[in-house]
Amino acid sequence: MTTAGIARRPKYVALFSMGLSDALAYRTSAAISWVINGWSVLIVVYVWYSLFAQDGAPVAQFDWQAMKTYLILAHAVNWFMQSDVSWIVADAVQNGNIVTDLTRPADYMLSKFSQAIGGSLVNGTIGTVILFGSSIIFLHLQAPASPAAAGLFILACVLGYGVNFLISYLMGLSTCWLTNNQGLSWVLWYAGRILAGTVIPISLFPGWLQTVAWASPFQATVSTPLLIYLGHDQQGGALGLIGVQVAWIIGLGAFSRWLYARAMRRLEIQGG
Amino acid sequence: MRCCISQAQIEARALTKTFRVPKRGSGVTGAIQHLFAPVYEDKRALDQVTFDIASGEAVACVGPNGAGKSTTVKLMVGITMPTSGSVRIEGLDPHKERITNSRKIGVVFGQRSQLWWDLPVAESLRLLGDIYEIPPDRYDQTLKTCTELLELGPLLGQASRSLSLGQRMRCDIAASLLHSPRILFLDEPTIGLDVAVKARIRQFISAMNRERGVTVVLTSHDLQDIETICQRIILMDKGAIVFDGSLLAVKRQFDRSRVVTFRLREMVPDAAARVQIALSEVAPPPVITVTGYDTVVTFDPSHSSSAAVVAKVMAELPVEDLKIEEPGIESIIRQLYDGTLKLGVAEPVT
Ligand SMILES: Nc1ncnc2c1ncn2[C@@H]1O[C@H](COP(=O)(O)OP(=O)(O)OP(=O)(O)O)[C@@H](O)[C@H]1O
Ligand SMILES: [Mg+2]
């Protein structure tokens, strides 16, 4: 068996396609997660539907149509972003297998990012597109506020993916200080989902929690693209919200670099 | 100006590594106590270790469990930082210049695999080719050599998770050499393998060292690995180097005996006495033992040559077969492991 005739790929492209085929190796579990995600959307939508059915009055700026659109899209966007990079990094640090990554001529964060995109494409994106597409057709979702909003929504999703990746990556790196961060991971994951506006829109939070949410990076993941889609971007406009996302990416990216350097100095590979 | 010509390829200077380990009481109380008032103690894994390794050498790092061999390898590879002291690979700090360094070195940790668990081996290797940006023709050539010498052919299509330990190790060694590294670090590359696979791997590594000039740094508890592959040995104990020199020198310094076993055609009742007379000029006097058809002569090869001893015995007795045994580093290292070898080196602090 030879590989003659196979051209070299740029290394991060190669890592991306590795993430892709790795995820495909577990396509059964991907399919199961599609089913679970699909059901959980339906349940949430149904619960809200019964709440609205009681008096039919809009809640804050959301009428039933807008709320339904928000909930389904929030799930779709959240699903699109989900990645297991936090777990992958934590595990590699804990069992020492990070050595194999570190003996290769590739940037650690970019490697994980390339792999994560490959994985997300299988686990999240395909399901997202199915969910999004079928909901628009069968559940009569509200259309984007304007054609510009549609374009900016997609841009905001991509940037949100970056913010979400950086948060997960940082959580993974934190294992170098907290030898067992399982608990912390779960707490952050749940808190993050709420603060991101995945469960209910941030504008329905009590005042103090809204302040917390707006100050956190989580809102830049799910809430931002949705506000743009629905045209609920009064404070600062869509471009302002996207500017905030870019700022978070720069800030968290710089922090990741710094934390990575500190983590590598502490790294004590167990075993061997 | 080239700065590095006079330099050793690997330089370790006063390398010291201290681990901070939690000191925790047992049971729930211990765990709770640790949560609120953690107590740590320092554990010194390496203490002032200094050595140079020149390009093209094959060096074995040997010592009992916990001696600090793996820690030394991890420091040379750059995946951990020394507490004090320094290590340089071709003049560079392997930790600070991780990416530059990674192109020069190949690494095999016998206990871990660098192949992707779910991918076919060929896919993993191709991916490494991409990551290291190996030109396709050189990649094909190296892969071909490795495939032949390590008999990888039937393995390339299998997922790494479906390989046996020995098959996986052969693939892992190929993976570490694809980018033609100048230095190869191997931490227990033959652990748990059968005799045939061990022999194949040894031959391969040795060929890489002798024919391609790849520097080899190896840790192993298998003395056969060391004798086949390495010319130099660094003996470590409790985080310090207790001996560093050529394998031949170890043998000379620590074991001054040679054992020749003569198998006789027929029983000779007074064999011992006759050999004693035949070898009366050999000093110091050899030790002679007779068991059945075998007469065993143990003597000091630095004073009389084996040839002379064998010639004299053969003139005296009806010898059918004979076996000359080299002094085994095995016995020396066993003495070191047991702690019975006194080398006149100060006991390292633990
Ligand atoms: N991550 C770590 N945390 C705490 N102590 C460690 C760590 N790694 C190694 N040590 C300690 O450092 C010492 C040297 O360990 P090392 O793994 O280098 O030994 P070794 O010579 O490779 O032994 P072996 O032959 O068993 O592989 C041991 O006492 C070990 O307990
Ligand atoms: Mg070891």
Q: Same domain, yes or no, for B237 and B272?
A: no
B188: CA distance to ligand 1 center in Å? 14
- Please identify, among B195, B225, B251, the residue that sits at the C-terminal boundary of a domain: B251
b/e string for B282-294 if b means 16 or more Cβ within 10 A? beeebebebeeee
Residue of B nearest to A26 (CA): B118
Q: Same domain, yes or no, for B281 and B267?
A: yes
Flag if A2 and B118 touch (Cβ within 8 Å). no
Mean pLDDT of B277-283: 88
pLDDT in tens, A229-268: 988 876 678 888 899 999 999 999 999 999 999 998 888 7
Ranges of H-type helices in A82-200: 85-95, 98-102, 108-120, 126-138, 147-173, 182-195
Quick check: helix, strand or coil at residue B52? strand
Query: How many domains does chain B contain in total?
Result: 2
Residue B243 lies in a domain: yes
What's the CA gap between A76 and A78, in Å, rounded? 6
Would you call B98 an interface residue with chain A, using a CB distance cutoff of 8 Å?
A: yes
Quick check: helix, strand or coil at residue B92? strand
Q: Same domain, yes or no, for B129 and B198?
A: yes
Q: Same domain, yes or no, for B247 and B285?
A: no
Interface test with B, best of A104, A110, A270 (most B CBs within 10 A): A104
Q: Is residue B193 lining ligand 1, measured as CB closer than 6 Å? A: no
Interface test with A, best of B61, B71, B112, B217 (most A CBs within 10 A): B112
pLDDT in tens, B214-235: 999 999 888 888 888 999 999 8
pLDDT surpassing 50 at residue B350 = no
Residue B15 lies in a domain: no
Residue range of the domain that includes B270: 256-326
Residue B46 lies in a domain: no
- CA dihedral (A141, A143, A144, A148) in degrees, to 10, reads 160
Closest CA to B117 of A60, A97, A83: A97
Q: How far is the alpha carbon of A271 from chain B, nearest alpha carbon, in Å?
A: 8
Task: List the structure tokens of B20.
Answer: 């901070």
Closest CA to A77 of A227, A248, A244: A227
What's the CA gap between B252 and A151, in Å, rounded? 79
Residue B116 lies in a domain: yes
pLDDT surpassing 90 at residue A200 = no
Q: Same domain, yes or no, for B164 and B200?
A: yes
**Closest C-alpha to ligand 1, atom 28:** B66
Q: Is residue B348 lining ligand 1, measured as CB closer than 6 Å? A: no
What's the CA gap between B304 and A188, in Å, rounded? 77
Flag if A18 and B156 touch (Cβ within 8 Å). no
Q: Same domain, yes or no, for B236 and B317?
A: no
- Distance of alpha carbon B94 from its chain centroid, rounded? 22
* Chain A stretch 5-64, residues whose beta carbon is closer than 8 A to a beta carbon of chain B: 6-11, 13-15, 18, 21-22, 25-26
Bridge partners of A62, per DSSP, are A59
Would you call B23 an interface residue with chain A, using a CB distance cutoff of 8 Å?
A: no
Q: How far is the alpha carbon of A186 from chain B, nearest alpha carbon, in Å?
A: 20
B79 chain-A contacts, CB cut-off 8 A: 98-99, 102-103, 267, 269
Residue B206 lies in a domain: yes
pLDDT band at B326 (very low <50, low <70, confident <90, very high): low
**Residue B114 sits in a domain of what CATH number?**
3.40.50.300
B1: CA distance to ligand 1 center in Å? 41
Mean pLDDT of B71-81: 92
Q: Same domain, yes or no, for B228 and B265?
A: no
Flag if B119 and A8 touch (Cβ within 8 Å). no
Of the ligands numbered here, which is closest to the C-alpha atom of B68?
Answer: 1
Closest CA to B179 of B224, B132, B220: B132
Q: Same domain, yes or no, for B140 and B232?
A: yes
Percent of chain A at pLDDT exceeding 90: 32
Residue B74 lies in a domain: yes
Ranges of H-type helices in chain B: 27-36, 69-77, 98-104, 121-131, 136-150, 165-177, 195-212, 223-229, 247-254, 271-278, 306-316, 329-338
Answer whether B136's CB lies under 8 Å from B213's CB. no
Q: Same domain, yes or no, for B282 and B307?
A: yes
Mean pLDDT of A110-119: 92
* Chain B stretch 44-73, residues whose beta carbon is closer than 8 A to a beta carbon of chain A: 70, 73
Q: Same domain, yes or no, for B163 and B59?
A: yes
**Range in B146-160, B162-176, B322-336 with the lowest mean pLDDT:** B322-336
Flag if A8 and B135 touch (Cβ within 8 Å). yes
**Range in B1-5, B135-139, B225-229 with the lowest mean pLDDT:** B1-5
**Residue B315 sits in a domain of what CATH number?**
3.30.70.3400
In this predicted structure, what is the pLDDT of residue A105? 94
Answer whether A230's CB lies under 8 Å from A67's CB. no
**Closest C-alpha to ligand 1, atom 18:** B68
Flag if B114 and A103 touch (Cβ within 8 Å). yes
- Please identify, among B197, B228, B251, the residue that sits at the C-terminal boundary of a domain: B251
Mean pLDDT of A29-55: 79
B88: CA distance to ligand 1 center in Å? 21
Quick check: helix, strand or coil at residue B10? strand
User: H or E element: which one contains B324?
Assistant: strand B319-325
Q: Same domain, yes or no, for B234 and B265?
A: no
B187 chain-A contacts, CB cut-off 8 A: 272
In this predicted structure, what is the pLDDT of residue B58? 94
Would you call A3 an interface residue with chain B, using a CB distance cutoff of 8 Å?
A: yes
DSSP state of B305: -
B139 chain-A contacts, CB cut-off 8 A: 3
pLDDT surpassing 80 at residue B330 = no
In this predicted structure, what is the pLDDT of residue B345? 37
Residue of A nearest to B189 (CA): A272
pLDDT in tens, B179-224: 999 999 999 998 888 888 899 899 999 999 999 999 999 998 888 8
Nearest CB among A8, A15, A105 relative to B99 is that of A105
Flag if B19 and A7 touch (Cβ within 8 Å). no
Residue B162 lies in a domain: yes
B311: CA distance to ligand 2 center in Å? 46
B95 chain-A contacts, CB cut-off 8 A: 264
- Please identify, among B229, B251, B273, the residue that sits at the C-terminal boundary of a domain: B251
Flag if A269 and B74 touch (Cβ within 8 Å). yes
pLDDT surpassing 90 at residue A125 = no
Answer whether B93's CB lies under 8 Å from B82's CB. no
Q: How far is the alpha carbon of B23 from chain A, nearest alpha carbon, in Å?
A: 15
Mean pLDDT of A2-11: 70
Residue B117 lies in a domain: yes
pLDDT band at A1 (very low <50, low <70, confident <90, very high): very low
Residue B233 phi/psi, 5° resolution?
-135, 135
B228: CA distance to ligand 2 center in Å? 20
Flag if A97 and B136 touch (Cβ within 8 Å). no
**Closest C-alpha to ligand 1, atom 11:** B45
Q: Same domain, yes or no, for B172 and B308?
A: no
